[in-house]
Amino acid sequence: MIEGMRMDLKKSRYRSFDELYLYCYYVAGTVGLMSVPVMGISPDSRAATETVYKGALALGLANQLTNILRDVGEDARRGRIYLPQDELEAAGLSEADIFNGRVTDEWRSFMSGQITRARAFFRQAEEGATELNQESRWPVWASLLLYRQILDEIEANDYDNFTKRAYVPKTKKLMALPKAYLRSLMPPSSQTQSQRHYSSLT
């Protein structure tokens, strides 16, 4: 994690998603991994420990990617672009487009693909969240649901993340908390899958 912070002192461009992934792993994925022993795995979980850690890593990556997509304009004003340059080029976009804040069809298509990738990490994160200790699940689910809504707000802003900051209104945040709480009460998905498997055998 400390190495990831140091990267910001010397790196302001990322040639490919592999490079960006490594940065996200350092600054956020590690937080997810370190949190698992604190949160604890449910004694009712039938999932492999690796599955839980992969889910925690995915949540850290998803949250960081969401931060990056939300803060494109703010980062550009600081001379930083946390987006895969090869994917920008493939979409017909340049650094000038970002620094000038041009919301074009090419930009919308590019952003749509980036959001799809972030949502895939959120889906993987769900697999790990269900396996945590019940008392730890609520804040994890709240983080997952609230951060995922930021992606919805970027879309609602017509992908203008240059001049508009995507944020989740307070009413939506409050509505997400009981939903997260209900999700936290559900037994580990690995347990229910194991029970269904057992029932099918008997």
Asked if residue 109 lies in contact with residue 91, where contact means CB atoms within 8 angstroms, the answer is yes
Q: What's the pLDDT tens digit per position in 29-87?
A: 999 999 999 999 999 999 999 999 999 999 999 999 999 999 999 999 999 999 999 99
State the maximum Cα–Cα separation within the chain, in Å, rounded to a whole number.
64
Q: Which two tokens stand for residue 168?
A: 């989740």
Q: Is 168 helix (H, G, I), strand (E, B) or coil?
A: coil
CA 20/CA 23 separation, integer angstroms: 5
Q: What is the DSSP letter of 4?
A: H
Q: Which of 1.10.600.10, 1.10.3720.10, 3.40.50.1980, 3.30.70.20 would CATH assign to domain 2-201?
A: 1.10.600.10
Q: What's the pLDDT tens digit per position in 157-189?
A: 999 999 999 989 999 999 999 999 999 999 998
In single-letter form, the type of residue at position 80 comes to: R
Q: Is 14 helix (H, G, I), strand (E, B) or coil?
A: strand
Q: Is 114 helix (H, G, I), strand (E, B) or coil?
A: helix
Mean pLDDT value across the chain: 92
Its pTM stands at: 0.90
Q: Which two tokens stand for residue 126?
A: 């769900």
